[in-house]
Structure 1
Amino acid sequence: MTTAPMRKDAARNWQRIAEVGRRLVDEGSPLHLNEVARLASVGVATVYRHFPTPEALMEAVATPGLEALVTRAEQALAEDDVWRALTGFLHSTMDAQLTDPSITAVRSAPRNVLPHTTELTTTLDTLAAHLLTRAHTAGIVREEITWEDLRPLMCGIAYAANIHTEDQQERLESGRRYLAVTIRGMRP
């Protein structure tokens, strides 16, 4: 079943709400939907109609970043150098988590609320697991390491890098350094 396209005014409201959500997430502010409505200059009911929960808004904000990570994983699977493909993907994932706080929030959440987010995260996890399986087959990653191990470690690294500094560049440097330690530990 397909859904009807949004009316132009509804689409504009959705866009304004999503832009306010993006700004609040980037500032590290909580997504209180009443406040989002005020900042977007729309009615509270309009916000709740588009995003019934703060989690739904967070997932909408994270969608472009998650889509980019899926694309990056697909590109990595097409690379011939298995180690470079895996580590390049992990570095891209870490950079995304450290520059877009919505990605870590969505990836560390116990469940998704939007079907599209579930689809994206499932696809991302499947592709990442394939990258890891290729590395296992090539004998360049310890067999006992699974994507179920690495996914929470990636969120943990992002968390650790984020709590030590407000400076974006310092966070990236710390996260990359912590990831390098993790990557070294993956070798047989």
Structure 2
Amino acid sequence: MTRPPLRKDAARNWDRIVAVARELVDEHTPLQLNDVARRAGLGVGTVYRHFPTPEALLETVALPCLETLAGHGEAALRDTDPWRALTGFLLHTVQAQVTDPSLATVSAAASDALPRTTQLKESLRSAGTTLLARAHAAGVVRTDLTAPDLVPLMCGIAYAAEVHCETPAERSATARRYLLTLLEGLRTPPPAA
């Protein structure tokens, strides 16, 4: 993420605010700008100057994950194997959902505080739609699976892994297993030889 150049002290404050917000998100603690200021040892005004809303701060925390996912989407679009491209992209997506608690809230928001968030979310939607269309065209995935189905399916898998597993490693392994099982159910059987 690029931001306008800041004075050294302002850049340190920005970094500190984002680091504290990341800690709170990882603890599953709702972001309140006053709490962030207190934990960061900064004035509330300093936090509000950098992030006018909790949503803007949460999106800033989520941006690295969204950027990485968008990169995976671009790589998947370059893959010439439609099944591998779709499954690889979905595996990266569900992995991000179970490892970054900021992602679900930011992804589900009806509106975005930051223009970059909107761009990245649109890039991800577009990649998923294109990858699914390619898989449909190649006849490797069930035709009744639609692009709008992808997000709820990924969220369902991430939620199931979250509630049934205690450690991050268990959540990742379980989400991967659930997704691979789902994908095998969505795959079109190869024609009989």
What is the TM-score normalised by the length of structure 2?
0.90
Partner residue in 2 for 1:113: 113
CA RMSD, 1 decimal: 1.6
In structure 1, the gaps of 5 or more residues are none
* Alignment partners' CA distance in 1, 2:4 and 2:29: 33
Give the C-alpha shift of residue 4 in structure 1: 5.2
* Alignment partners' CA distance in 2, 1:156 and 1:43: 39
Change (3 A) 1:149 1:75: same
Partner residue in 2 for 1:171: 171
Partner residue in 2 for 1:42: 42
Give the C-alpha shift of residue 17 in structure 1: 0.4
Q: Which runs of 4+ in 1 moved over 6 A?
A: none
Residue pair 1:108, 1:155 contacting (<8 A) in 2 also: no
SS at match of 1:132: helix
Give the C-alpha shift of residue 71 in structure 1: 0.5
Partner residue in 1 for 2:187: 187
Partner residue in 2 for 1:97: 97
Partner residue in 1 for 2:122: 122
Partner residue in 2 for 1:27: 27
Give the C-alpha shift of residue 99 in structure 1: 0.9
* Alignment partners' CA distance in 1, 2:4 and 2:133: 41
Change (3 A) 1:181 1:10: same
Give the C-alpha shift of residue 5 in structure 1: 2.9
What is the TM-score normalised by the length of structure 1?
0.92
1:143 and 2:143 correspond: yes
SS at match of 1:52: coil
SS at match of 2:26: helix
SS at match of 1:142: coil
Identity %: 56
* Alignment partners' CA distance in 2, 1:32 and 1:106: 15
Partner residue in 2 for 1:72: 72
* Alignment partners' CA distance in 2, 1:124 and 1:95: 15
Aligned residues: 186
Residue pair 1:108, 1:152 contacting (<8 A) in 2 also: no
Residue pair 1:104, 1:158 contacting (<8 A) in 2 also: no
* Alignment partners' CA distance in 1, 2:88 and 2:14: 34
* Alignment partners' CA distance in 1, 2:59 and 2:147: 22
